[in-house]
Amino acid sequence: MIIAISGTPGTGKTALGKKLALFFGLKHVNLNKNIKQKKIYDRYDEKRKCYVVDTDKLNKHLIALIEAYKKKTAKKIESIEKNRERYAALVHKLIEKQKKEKIRQKLKKLETLLVYHELSEKMLKEIIQDYLDGQKVKKHPSLRHLHGLILDSHLSHHLPKRYVDLCIITKCHTDELHQRLKKRRYSKEKIMENVQAEIFDVCLEEAKKNKHTILIQDTSKDL
């Protein structure tokens, strides 16, 4: 499962990413750190106090990261699925032998939980939306063995759709965003640049252009 979290700097991507990673048992990857450590940038802009990143280079790095992660977890996931299928088969045999209806019904419920249910993009979006809305998340069987990455960056939405199951775009009221960026000691020019990017929904429009399955989360209030 690969989730990209994007949005204008200061809109709460990292706070949201860490929260989701903790609840769903996913690995949170702060791409800003990767960009610096792996030197995935062309140059440092002294005026704007930020790295100028080539999105094509970043995408190549992320695709390699995703493929390496999937390769690493493939055996573990395969083992989980084999065990689940084996236990489901054993429970099915017990159901066939059991004569008491009450026990049969209990065993059928157990069998349902053991049978593999793949999370569709739509289902994943609905589950995460419910969680973010403060609702009690229904424990879909697949959630117990969910493996994946949360890619946190205002550039993560540039990844091709085939590599991303869900793209979350964080948004924030411009007054609140201004205050957050001011606390980060951004220059007036940089604050204005980011506020304008938020007004014009730059990240959201680019994510739509890439045809991602999108979930929009307003972080104007604390998460």
Q: Please identify which residue in the block is written with the tokens 């993560």.
A: 156
For 46-100, what is the HEC assignment? Answer: CCCCEEECCHHHHHHHHHHHHHHHHHHHHHHHHHHHHHHHHHHHHHHHHHHHCCC
pLDDT at 156: 97
Q: What is the DSSP letter of 13?
A: H
Find, among 119, 207, 124, 202, the residue nearest to 158 by Cα.
Answer: 207
What's the pTM value of the predicted model, to 2 decimals?
0.79
pLDDT at 59: 96
| Domains, the chain | 2-218 (3.40.50.300)
pLDDT at 116: 45
How confident is the prediction along the chain (223 residues), in pLDDT tens digits per residue?
899 999 999 999 999 999 999 888 889 999 988 898 888 989 988 888 888 999 999 999 999 999 998 888 877 666 656 666 666 677 677 777 777 777 767 666 655 555 544 566 777 788 788 888 877 665 555 554 467 899 999 999 999 999 999 999 999 999 999 999 999 999 999 999 999 999 999 999 999 999 999 999 999 986 6
Q: Are 172 and 219 in contact (CB under 8 A)?
A: yes
φ, ψ for residue 120 (rounded to 5)? -80, 165
pLDDT at 83: 65
